């Protein structure tokens, strides 16, 4: 079953020129003169590169099924991250180059999503929100409440973020892993 460019929607994945592409944005264009076309912004799901491309609405592409499987992060051996399938107890090894910058918010035993295509893992999605303990930050001072003021804090995973002045060492914080922003004290 092929996908036509006229059926494109955000999030759809398909194969094009041997690569797996995901639609980020699309727009059906019907000019006053000439044939209609589909303007898209595509992400190569393996490399992460983004391209803009136009298609004839009748062009066909084979669908690409990206598997998202929840696995538990076990440990980092220095070269590879070790994940465990909590159903089969099978271990999956992921190279450091396949995890994004937001992996710095993941600690051992957290559940992540492993993205794979045709059995080959290509990315790791950490949980959207994590709760981590502050291991180091300068103390806030009474009366030091400048609006929007922040200070650096180091979390238990080693990640550094900006936090409000009232946060202290030992506080547990809720963090948005997509942006790296502090959300609230837990």
| Predicted TM-score (pTM) of this structure | 0.71
What's the pLDDT tens digit per position in 124-138?
889 999 999 999 998
Between CA 169 and CA 116, with CA 160 as vertex, the angle to 5 degrees is 125
Average pLDDT, the chain: 88
Handedness of CA 65, 71, 73, 76 (dihedral sign): negative
Contacts 24+ apart (CB under 8 A), 34-39: 38/5, 38/6, 38/8
Helix (H) or strand (E) holding 1: none
Tokens read off for 180: 């790296």
What's the pLDDT tens digit per position in 32-44?
888 899 999 998 8
Residues forming beta bridges with residue 172, ordered by sequence position: 133
Contact 84, 91 (CB under 8 A): yes
Q: Domains plus CATH for the chain? A: 3-61 (2.30.30.30), 66-125 (2.40.50.140), 129-185 (2.40.50.140)
Q: How many residues does the chain have?
A: 186
Instruction: Give the chain's count of helices (H) and strands (E).
Output: 0, 16
What's the pLDDT tens digit per position in 109-123?
999 999 888 888 888
Residue 28: count other Cβ atoms within 10 Å of its Cβ.
12
3-state class (DSSP) for residue 183: strand
């Amino acid at each position: 079953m092929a996908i036509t460019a006229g059926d494109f929607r955000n999030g759809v994945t398909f194969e094009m020129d041997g690569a797996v592409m995901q639609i980020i944005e699309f727009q059906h264009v019907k000019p006053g003169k000439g044939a209609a076309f589909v303007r898209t912004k595509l992400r190569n799901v393996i490399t992460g590169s983004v391209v803009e491309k136009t298609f004839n609405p009748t062009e066909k592409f084979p669908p690409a099924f990206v598997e998202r499987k929840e696995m538990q992060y076990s440990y980092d051996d220095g070269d590879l991250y070790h994940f465990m399938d909590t159903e089969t107890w099978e271990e999956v090894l992921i190279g450091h180059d396949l995890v994004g910058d937001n992996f710095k918010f993941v600690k051992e035993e957290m559940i992540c999503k492993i993205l794979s295509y045709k059995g080959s893992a290509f990315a790791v999605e950490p949980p959207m929100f994590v709760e981590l303990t502050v291991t180091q930050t300068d103390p806030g001072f009474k009366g030091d409440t400048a609006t929007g003021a922040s200070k650096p804090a180091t979390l238990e995973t080693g990640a550094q973020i900006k936090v409000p002045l009232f946060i202290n060492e030992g506080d547990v914080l809720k963090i948005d892993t997509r942006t790296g922003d502090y959300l609230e004290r837990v």
